[in-house]
Amino acid sequence: MSGPGTRFVYSPRYAADIGDHVFPTRKFSLTAGRLRGQGELVEPEPAAREDLLLAHEEAWVDKVLSGRMPLADEVLMEMPFSPAVSLAHRLQAGGTLLAARHALERGVGLHVGGGSHHAFADHAEGFCVLNDIACAIMKVLSEGRVRRAAVVDLDVHQGNGTAAIFRTRPEVFTFSMHQESIYPFAKEKGSLDVGLPDGAGDQEYLSLLEKHLPRVFEHEPELVVYQAGADVAEGDLLGGLRLTAEGILQRDSVVCACCRLRRIPLVVTLGGGYSADIDRTADIHAATLRLAAEQDVG
């Protein structure tokens, strides 16, 4: 269970002002609030330029760092851009890297944020500016901390940016299980993609997860990044699956148990969650992080 030694990576600056928008930036502070007293909240540094360049093209990194963005890029991003948004995404990239370091030291890294899996090497998409998952994995690979890694992406949307970035990197296995009919409508090819029908509920979802997840571990990853999207929940504004809160926690338990059994360090990122009831989203995220905290051996 989470306790005094548990570390949750979080910054209040994740909640950049993007106006009246479907992406609920306030969910970060609400989730962190639910975890207070259950561990230490550790604030990351913004990712360094050289670390962003491990997964992104130089022209894109410099554009993001400038704090200004042409309208065409904002259209793909689907949200307004500003220096505060730039900082928020650099902080989250630094946060996922810090969580990866915690995972390698303690068995698990817990990020109250992160999961910008629609960000490509050279552009933003779908509210995602910098692919923190890719940056963190590329950093620990470049340091020789791990030889192989895997991404388990269970957000309701396919992790298209992550799949594209790692397409030519056989040392990284990307698994995405997502609703097939929704955004992104042009899917990228990952190592393993499982498309779900509209309206899939707990039983169908968990059955398919238990069928396909073992493929990830045939790759023998030395680090797993788990994108634990809350947007698989029934009633999510941007998804059409029908998982209950209990079903989502069972999903999390399956992933955590597979890593724990094999003693593979696990990083958790939050990904999406767009319920009209923001407290419901924060409850789901907090429950995921509490469960994953049981992997902490620090």
Report residue 100 as tokens: 């990866």
Q: What is the mean pLDDT of the chain?
A: 97
105-143 burial: b if 16+ Cβ within 10 Å, else e: ebbbbbbbbbbbbbbbeebbbbbbbbbbbbbbbbbbbee
Residue (of 138, 240, 164) closest to 195 by Cα position: 240
Q: In sequence order, which residues have a C-beta less than 8 Å from that of residue 187 and are 6 or more positions away? A: 158, 160, 193, 195
Q: Of the residues 118, 123, 178, 285, which is catalytic?
A: 118
DSSP 183: S
Please state, in angstroms and rounded to a whole number, the distance separating the CA atoms of residues 186 and 88: 27
Rounded CA separation 160/125 (Å): 9
Q: What band does 296 get if pLDDT is binned at 50, 70 and 90?
A: confident
Nearest to 216 by CA among 230, 226, 229: 226
Alpha helices in 126-244 (DSSP H): 132-142, 160-165, 202-212, 214-218
Residue 212 has pLDDT above 90, yes or no: yes
Q: Are 175 and 214 in contact (CB under 8 A)?
A: no
Residue, of 2 and 52, whose pLDDT is higher: 52
What's CA 269's distance to the chain center, in Å?
Answer: 4
pLDDT in tens, 24-48: 999 999 999 999 999 999 999 999 9
Q: Where are the domains of the chain?
A: 11-295
CATH superfamily of 11-295: Histone deacetylase domain (3.40.800.20)
Task: Return the pLDDT at 4.
Answer: 59
- Among residues of the chain, what percentage have pLDDT more than 70? 98
Q: How far is Cα 216 from Cα 173, in angstroms, rounded to an integer?
A: 7
Using pLDDT thresholds of 50, 70 and 90, give the confidence band for residue 2: low
Residue 43: other Cβ atoms inside 10 A? 14
- The string of pLDDT tens digits covering residues 118-162 is 999 999 999 999 999 999 999 999 999 999 999 999 999 999 999
pLDDT score at 280: 98
Q: Read off the pLDDT of residues 73-93 as tens digits, 9 standing for 90 and up.
A: 999 999 999 999 999 999 999
**What is the residue type of 148?**
R
Is 212 in the active site? no
Is the per-residue pLDDT at 297 higher than 90?
A: no
pLDDT at residue 5, as a whole number: 82
Decide if 128 contacts 81 (C-beta within 8 A). Answer: no
Entry pTM = 0.97
Cα–Cα distances in Å, from 110 out to 86, 190, 245, 270? 22, 24, 19, 9
User: Per-residue pLDDT for 1 more than 60?
Assistant: no
Contact assessment for residue 286 and residue 35, using Cβ atoms and an 8 Å cutoff:
yes
What Å distances lie between residue 227 and 42, 66, 73, 131, 273, CA to CA?
20, 28, 25, 12, 12
pLDDT tens track for 267-289? 999 999 999 999 999 999 999 99
Q: What is the pLDDT of residue 290?
A: 98
- 182-204 pLDDT, tens digit per residue, is 999 999 999 999 999 999 999 99
